Structure 1
Amino acid sequence: MQIADFPVPDTLAARGALEIARSYQSPALTAHALRSWLWAEGFARIDGISGIDHELLYVSAVLHDIGTVPEFDNHTISYEHAGGHVAVALTAGAGWPAPRRRRALEVIVRHNWPSVDPTMDAEGHLLEIATGLDISGSRPEVLPEEFRREVLRAHPRGTLAAEFGACVIDQAARKPDTAARRLVDAGIIGKLAANPLESF
């Protein structure tokens, strides 16, 4: 398994998602988004999950934390809902039909669920377990070590632990009824610091 096995979708929506991420997010958050996409694709292959909408998965992964940046932060709804609506707007401009646009919102929202049934939402499940690896260090041994090393060389973690930790603490304080509060209460700060990917 290697990065070349997972080509970036050559579509208007995919290009637009990456442009938005790079324009508004820090390099560390954008690298996290791209690693999350690659981990999701890797888990799909390892776990035998087929029939994936790869463009949907890529766009959702690249934009899944865009709701944390000041320009898209929402004062009432969770950052994952805010980011999902950014994806809806982007994909509307790219010509996606309404049901597929709603899928981008669902996948981004569900990445913050404690778990997602792959038979109900394969892309949501894959993004949830991929971000679980990149943030909390869940199931690193499932993906080949050389693949993990290649992805981390291409998209280094940098200041992700400090940046994302501060962001989630802020979100939890301002919006205590959202998933950010649950993440903080579940020890996400310690999990970020102890993530085995930090030592690669």
Structure 2
Amino acid sequence: MFPETPAAAAALSVARRFYSPALINHCVRSYLWGAMYAAAHRIAYDDELYYVSALLHDIALTEAFDSHAVPFEAAGGRLAWVFGTVAGWPAERAARAEEIIVLHMREDVSAATDPEAHLLQVASSWEVVGRHAEQFSTGARAEMLARYPRLGFGRDFLASFEDQARRKPDSAAAASVRNDLATRIAANPLESPSLS
């Protein structure tokens, strides 16, 4: 189900140490939704690289790693670069983890251009605001949330983004808040009480 490599195990350890239960479940679900989407669309991707990026993509929303100066995705990307370097990855691979995390908050990236960033964009936008709902069956949703419940993720995520927006008004998080993030989270089918 998950890649069995030292870097993958270390990423899970980092996530368990610093994320809330709701945030770690979100990151695990993001990996699994992306893998499910890739299988359905026959998208080839680097499983370990995608897993590590998915697990670390929100690390800079945590108190321990929140940056006062840069958007959370940029700070998280830099931390992923450090993580990859310490894990012994070549410089280009560590840089790819940074790029994937930064790009997940940018304009859509095609699977042909960057499969891992594309998968993280699809999965995280589905997770947060319900985008791409047609890609994930009701049965898959129920099974996923039974294994990895949301635990108030939508509420907590909105609070994190509102905090980011107040402190970093030019960030992508602030743009999301201005684009009625609260309403979009509330309308996400994954927020339905019958699924959580």
Instruction: Determine the structure 2 residue equivalent to 1:49.
Output: 43
1:23 to 2:13 alignment: no
Instruction: State the AA in 1 paired with 2:30.
Output: S
User: Is 1:92–1:101's contact at 8 Å kept on the other side of the alignment?
Assistant: yes
1:158 to 2:148 alignment: no
| Higher RCO by CA contacts (8 Å cutoff, separation 6 or greater) | 1
Runs of 4+ in 1 over 6 A off after TM superposition: none
Instruction: Report the count of equivalent residues.
Output: 193
Structure 1 length as normaliser, TM-score?
0.93
Aligned-partner Cα distance in 2 for 1:54–1:180: 27
**What stretches of structure 1 of length at least 5 have no aligned partner?**
1-6
1:34 to 2:28 alignment: yes
Aligned-partner Cα distance in 2 for 1:114–1:32: 21
Aligned-partner Cα distance in 1 for 2:164–2:136: 31
**Counterpart selection for 2:186 from 175, 193, 197:** 193
Instruction: State the AA in 2 paired with 1:94.
Output: A
CA drift of 1:99 comes to 0.3
Instruction: Determine the structure 1 residue equivalent to 2:174.
Output: 181
Deviations 1:130-176 (A, max 9, x none): 00100010122212332222111111011111111000001011011
Provide the alpha-carbon RMSD of the alignment: 1.0
Residue range with higher mean Cα deviation, 185-194 or 29-38: 185-194
Q: Secondary structure at the match of 1:152?
A: helix
Deviations 1:19-64 (A, max 9, x none): 11111111001100011101100111112212x1000000000110
Aligned-partner Cα distance in 2 for 1:104–1:158: 27
User: Is 1:46–1:143's contact at 8 Å kept on the other side of the alignment?
Assistant: no
Instruction: State the AA in 1 paired with 2:13.
Output: E
CA drift of 1:71 comes to 1.0
Structure 2 length as normaliser, TM-score?
0.95
Instruction: Determine the structure 2 residue equivalent to 1:130.
Output: 123
